[in-house]
Amino acid sequence: MGRPLICYTIEGLRAVGIKNILVVQGPKRDIEQELKDIPGLGDVKYVIQPEANGMSGAMAAAKPYVSGQFFVLFAHAVDCSDVVKKMLEKSRQTGAKMVLAGQTTDSPWLYGVARLEGDRLYEIVEKPTEGKEPSKIKINGIYLLESGYFDHLQKILGTTHFNQEFEAAVLAYAKENDSRIVVLDKDYKGISLKYPWHLFGVQKYIFGKFLTKQSIASSSRIAKSAVVSGDVHIGANVQIHEGAVIKGPCYIGDDSVIGNNSIVRDCDLENGAVVGALCETARTIFQPGVHVHSGYFGDSILDSGCRIGAGTVTANARLDREEVKAQVKREKDGEKKVEMVGTGLKSLGIIIGQNSKIGVNVSLMPGRMIGKSCRVAPGTVLMENLQDGEAN
């Protein structure tokens, strides 16, 4: 909906009274640059993490600015306000200075999983062996810590891989201090961005909370024969041509174009998107500047600058209608291996990286992923993933 996800996270923290917010960013300062002109975020401080050395490096960069209790959370925690409130309540009720949030998962081997007695946290097992997990409660990436945590982190630095130091220090703290966990309600869906298709869950949450009415900019041009129904945002200078149908919930960003007799339903089309004539897009996310012609795009994600030729179709369901699986690289026993991973979805189309180009009359099979700056030849039936820069 036209903004970086971190904006929703910052606003969620403000809503529960968090006043001091520190963003850890890389040397390019790209987060600071992107947020500087966005109104309503309040006073946000920034600190540089000089190199990509994991969460422990981020914590080391933040340490000089932190005292007492503090929250640590990922930038995409757009639903953080209710969770943070519950964690503060747990800390006040029990006197525990460290509180973690967790939720039930059907695939605990993909996450850090808690070993508990009641609500007391004793251990976090990172990506346990399937069938040997201590519980089905995964740590969901929001931590309430206190400055004593840094003493444990300092002792651990350099003793294990930097991707594991943050969690190891959390565990070391928990072994010596009363630490608790808030297990969120079963109905709580949670926001995860471990895999790209998790972005659909983020979209659903943001649409449900912020896209609650029809809003059409006065500078947009909508043909009389076009139909716009439901909760739909249409931005500035949008063109919607004759016979087009827009069914909410939908977000259509500034300077976008919807061609003749096209259907757009339950989609997030960011600024400058172009949907050509005779095209259907359903439950799909287009990042800025995506251009597609006639065809079908269902349950798919296209990164910025993608160009798709006419007649291209995404297959978003298997013939047997079973769960769609995706081919991903996972670290196992210290090595990165390619595996088929269940997505939990029976409808999943294509995921395409930035600035990739696809020719006419291409068929894209369910759950396939195309890297950035790729080329797909006309008439291709794409059965396998493409890595960054590849051409078939």
Same-domain check for residues 240 and 347: yes
Same-domain check for residues 135 and 279: no
Same-domain check for residues 230 and 119: no
Mapped onto helix, strand or coil, the DSSP state of residue 384 is coil
The answer to whether residue 359 sits within a structural domain is yes
The answer to whether residue 235 sits within a structural domain is yes
Question: Looking at 124-133, 214-223, 273-282, which range is the least confident one?
Answer: 124-133
- Average pLDDT of every residue of the chain: 93
The residue among 127, 161, 194 that closes a domain is 194
13-40 residue pLDDT tens: 999 999 999 999 999 999 999 999 898 8
Q: What is the mean pLDDT of residues 170-189?
A: 84
108: pLDDT confidence band, cut at 50, 70 and 90? confident
The residue among 194, 223, 247 that closes a domain is 194
Contact criterion met (CB below 8 Å) for 114 and 171: no
Q: At what angle are helices 149-156 and 162-176 packed, to 10 degrees? A: 130
pTM to 2 decimals? 0.89
The answer to whether residue 202 sits within a structural domain is no
52-73 residue pLDDT tens: 888 999 999 999 999 999 999 9
The answer to whether residue 201 sits within a structural domain is no
The residue among 194, 225, 242 that closes a domain is 194
The answer to whether residue 390 sits within a structural domain is no
Same-domain check for residues 187 and 220: no
Residue type, 78: V
Contact criterion met (CB below 8 Å) for 182 and 87: yes
The answer to whether residue 82 sits within a structural domain is yes
Is the bond preceding 4 in cis, omega lying within 30 degrees of 0? Answer: no
In what order do the strands lie in the sheet containing 250-252?
Answer: 215-216, 232-234, 250-252, 268-269, 285-286, 301-302, 351-352, 369-370
Give how many domains the chain has, as a whole number: 2
156: pLDDT strictly greater than 70: yes
Which residues, including other chains, have CB under 8 Å from residue 204's CB and lie 6 or more apart?
none
Domain with 231, as residue range(s), is 212-382
Q: What is the mean pLDDT of residues 365-379?
A: 97
Q: At what angle are helices 5-15 and 80-94 packed, to 10 degrees? A: 40
- Which CATH number characterizes residue 283's domain? 2.160.10.10
193: pLDDT confidence band, cut at 50, 70 and 90? confident
| Per-residue model confidence (pLDDT) at position 187 | 61
190: pLDDT strictly greater than 80: no
- Which CATH number characterizes residue 179's domain? 3.90.550.10
Q: In Å, what is the CA distance from 107 to each residue of 127, 128, 372? A: 10, 10, 29
| Per-residue model confidence (pLDDT) at position 335 | 77
Same-domain check for residues 297 and 225: yes
Question: Looking at 78-82, 234-238, 290-294, 345-349, which range is the least confident one?
Answer: 78-82
Contact criterion met (CB below 8 Å) for 126 and 330: no
Same-domain check for residues 182 and 237: no
246-284 residue pLDDT tens: 999 999 999 999 999 999 999 999 999 999 999 999 999
Reading the block at residue 13, the tokens are 């923290």
The answer to whether residue 185 sits within a structural domain is yes
Same-domain check for residues 173 and 57: yes
Same-domain check for residues 377 and 283: yes
Same-domain check for residues 166 and 42: yes
Provide the b/e sequence for 234-257 (b: ≥16 CB within 10 Å): bbeebbbbebbbbbbbbbbbbbbb
Same-domain check for residues 282 and 224: yes
The answer to whether residue 290 sits within a structural domain is yes
333: pLDDT strictly greater than 70: no
352: pLDDT strictly greater than 80: yes
Same-domain check for residues 240 and 122: no
170: pLDDT strictly greater than 70: yes
Same-domain check for residues 155 and 232: no
